[in-house]
Amino acid sequence: MSQLLTEQVRAALGWTVTYTAPESLSRASIRYFALAIGADPQRWRDEAPPTLICETAQLTGRAVPDRNSYLGHVWELPLPVRCAMFRGGNDYRFDRPARFDDVIDTTWTLTDATERRDRDGDPLLVVTAEAVYSVGGDRLATNAETMIFRPLGAAQPDRDARPEEADHEPAADTAPATSQPDDDAPDAAGTSDIPEPLPRAALRPGRPLRPLRRRIALADMVAYGAATWDWHRLHYDEAHARRLGAPAPVVDGQMLGALLAECVVRDAGAGARLVRLAYRNRAPVYAGETVVCSGTIATSDDAGFSVDLSVSVGDRIVVAPAFAQLAWTSG
């Protein structure tokens, strides 16, 4: 018998809401986001890094944050009990780059909901929704997002929970890592060690990308939150994070997607454009941990190439599976 997937929740499927941004995206927003993810701000000037429009709450135009201090879109589902929501993953598809002068419309649709059980038998509600970003009726991108709702107070899964379970959620009985920054590894906001793109001839199947390594300090999480207009307390307020079962503030799962995109596009350079990025959050990343984004080219042809990706913290895989598809922009 379903505990979370009630008839009221089923009736919510198909809900649609549209936001029109109150202003253009702006070069300032683009530059700040690039700095927050450690990208080269000189490259991203007229066009935005590809995942920005999928991550920023700027586009909603909301002026009053919710009880979690969040300005982005949220689904007020008629759940029978209070739940914490965690992002399970995203699938971005990009039709064209967003420009600084774009005034963007966003239409969200609630598409599906299923109930599952974790290994302790506690219920999880897995909800999917799709956002369509457009300018003047012309589509920029889509974002298929998975959200996991867990009753507050339910037992938390271990970090190595089975893939079909909500193992992105913080584990109550684990401690935050104590990894320290390497001397030669920039923080998330650092841009001093951005490598030159690889030549197109080198982007062939089996070739590993150069790993992108970032220590994500609490200050980096705050900078990313500001760059995306996302002040959700889970990402900076330790007391609030602990109330939700986390041992420390949790890195926004979409920040890991932004770092994966940066890992791919910095090696591809201006000769290729990201057209799809899909990833699944498997385990949480906490403030102060060092993430490593890795990738190997899977396919390559005259149209473009694809990359198999993952994110790890030490020997712990935190994002997988993940992949990116890029299209050549020059012959």
For 205-214, how does the pLDDT look when each residue is reduced to its tens digit (9 = 90+)?
999 999 999 9
Q: What is the pLDDT of residue 193?
A: 65
In the prediction, which pLDDT does 295 show?
Answer: 97
- The reply to whether 2 falls in a domain is no
Tokens 């999480």 identify what position? 221
Residue 178 contacts by C-beta under 8 Å, 6 or more apart in sequence? 288
pLDDT digits (tens, 9 = 90+) for 36-71: 999 999 999 999 999 999 999 999 999 998 888 888
Secondary structure in 3-state letters for 88-101: EEEEEEECCCCECC
Higher-confidence position of 171 and 208: 208
Residue 262 within a domain: yes
Question: Tokens representing 263?
Answer: 């890992």
Task: Tell me if 279 is assigned to some domain.
Answer: yes
- DSSP letters, 154-220, are PPPPPTT--TTS-TTSPPTT---------TT--BTT--TTPPPPPPGGG--TTPBPPPEEEE--HHH
Q: How far is CA 44 from CA 27, 66, 266, 325, 328, in A?
A: 9, 31, 11, 20, 18
Rounded-to-integer distance, Cα 306 and Cα 328, Å: 11
* Distant-in-sequence, close-in-space partners of 80: CB < 8 Å, separation ≥ 6: 3, 4, 6
Q: What pLDDT score does 277 carry?
A: 98
Q: What is the pLDDT of residues 79-107, one digit of tens each?
A: 999 888 888 999 999 999 999 999 999 99
Q: Residue 163: exposed, middle, or buried by beta-carbon count in 10 A (0-12, 13-18, 19+)?
A: exposed
pLDDT digits (tens, 9 = 90+) for 230-285: 988 999 999 988 887 889 999 999 999 999 999 999 999 888 999 999 999 999 99
* CATH at 230: 3.10.129.10
The answer to the question of residue 161 being in a domain is: yes
182, pLDDT greater than 80: no
pLDDT tens, 111-158?
Answer: 999 999 988 888 999 999 999 999 999 999 999 999 999 898 764 533
pLDDT confidence of residue 161: 32
Number of domains in the chain: 1
168 belongs to a structural domain: yes
- Predicted TM-score (pTM) of the model is 0.86
Residue 300 structural domain: 7-328
Q: Is residue 54 part of a domain?
A: yes
* Domain membership flag for residue 1: no
Examine residue 324 and state whether it is found in any structural domain, yes or no: yes
